[in-house]
Amino acid sequence: MTTVIDGKQVAASVIDAVKTASQVLTEQTGVKTGLAVVIVGNDPASHAYVSSKSKMAKECGFTSVQHTLPEETTQEELAALVQTLNTDETLHGILVQLPLPKHFNSEAIVQSILPEKDVDGLHVVNAGKLATGDLDGGLVSCTPAGAMVFVKRTHGEDLSGLNAVVIGRSNLFGKPMAQLLLAANATVTIAHSRTKDLAAVCRNADILVAAVGRPEMVKADWVKPGATVIDVGINRIAAPEKGEGKSRLVGDVAFEECAKVAAVITPVPGGVGPMTIAMLMANTVIAAYRKAGRTAPKF
């Protein structure tokens, strides 16, 4: 019987742990965890994400600050705002919602956030700490951190002897995911669009993580029987069966057929997606603990 991971349920358990940690920190030190979210422009999807992040921060008992800036904001104005947030002692996390409007140098903005407040885990200092195995010193990018929660709840903390394959080499997901698996002692292969005989590489994986952005690319014959399959893809495809012009969300894994071969699999939607915001909250409370000189909780 295949286990389908319920991402909402796992995310809810992480949020519960965050609420407790946040409360304990306030009771013991008087420090209230603070998160600032910055959004520029009118992208409806970004606005939806930001409002759910701000809402969740309030639910966790954080001080939640949101800055909504007009499309025509300049690079200098945004940089100045980030600098102000960097120096604000009441804020432990800063998140600038990406993508920024086209006239911005996004990378310069992301790198201007203090590494210890970079709850998205995108600063080169945090990427470097992860790459050198310093999991307790940096902040890990939220989506791979969330996917790793699934892996550890399935296989335990130590992945010694297990083969893991990550399809995708992006800085946002593929590389940090591979580093996390490596830190847990898995034997890791990073595969991508240029990999020769990708299906054969995937068939060797006890843990297969797909993050390529190609709808339902991973087929059943790519999956080792009994493997754990983590699908990070979010692709919108036409769904004429729902009516003209309708679409539906699918992952990078052909779910129905792969679920017959895998032992554990994540669905899309409802798998890794809900974990991203949960891990953002986890990173924020971790940052608050470190700032207060306390040992940060693990999630």
DSSP for 129-193 reads: HHHTT-TTTS---HHHHHHHHHHHHHH-S--TT-EEEEE---TTTHHHHHHHHHHTT-EEEEE-T
Rounded Cα–Cα distance for residues 220 and 261 (Å): 7
Q: Give the distance, in angstroms, between the CA of residue 1 and the centroid of all CA atoms in the same chain.
A: 28
What pLDDT score was predicted for residue 218? 98
Q: Which of these is catalytic: 118, 120, 206, 231?
A: 120
Rounded Cα–Cα distance for residues 89 and 87 (Å): 6
Rounded Cα–Cα distance for residues 50 and 36 (Å): 10
Q: Give the list of residues 6+ apart from residue 9 with CB closer than 8 angstroms, or none.
A: none
Whether 255 and 158 share a structural domain: yes
Whether 207 and 106 share a structural domain: no
Q: Which of these is catalytic: 97, 118, 175, 206?
A: 97
57 in a structural domain:
yes
Q: State the average pLDDT over residues 71-86.
A: 98
Rounded Cα–Cα distance for residues 214 and 253 (Å): 9
Q: How confident is the model at residue 95 (pLDDT cuts 50, 70, 90)?
A: very high
Of 99, 115, 131, which residue constitutes the final position of a domain? 115
For residues 113 and 123, is the Cβ–Cβ distance under 8 A?
Answer: yes
286 in a structural domain:
no
Catalytic status, residue 53? yes
131 in a structural domain:
no
Q: What is the pLDDT of residues 259-277, one digit of tens each?
A: 999 999 999 999 999 999 9
Average pLDDT across the chain, whole number: 96
Q: How confident is the model at residue 220 (pLDDT cuts 50, 70, 90)?
A: very high
Q: C-alpha angle with apex 45: 12 to 83, nearest 5 degrees? A: 85
Whether 151 and 228 share a structural domain: yes
47 in a structural domain:
yes
Of 74, 100, 115, which residue constitutes the final position of a domain? 115
Q: φ, ψ for residue 197 (rounded to 5)? A: 50, 65
Q: How confident is the model at residue 20 (pLDDT cuts 50, 70, 90)?
A: very high
Radius of gyration of the chain (CA): 19
Whether 219 and 162 share a structural domain: yes
Counted domains in the chain: 2
CATH code of residue 99 = 3.40.50.10860
Q: What is the pLDDT of residues 23-33, one digit of tens each?
A: 999 999 999 99
Q: State the average pLDDT over residues 10-31.
A: 98
Q: Which of these is catalytic: 9, 19, 43, 53?
A: 53
Structure tokens at 17: 């742990």
Catalytic status, residue 120? yes
134 in a structural domain:
no
Q: What is the pLDDT of residues 116-144, one digit of tens each?
A: 999 999 999 999 999 999 999 999 999 99
Q: Which domain holds residue 153?
A: 142-274
Q: For residue 240, list its beta bridge partners.
A: none
**DSSP code of residue 119:** T
Residue 245: pLDDT above 90?
Answer: no
Q: What is the pLDDT of residues 36-52, one digit of tens each?
A: 999 999 999 899 999 99
Q: State the average pLDDT over residues 199-225.
A: 97
Rounded Cα–Cα distance for residues 257 and 188 (Å): 25
pTM for the full predicted model: 0.95
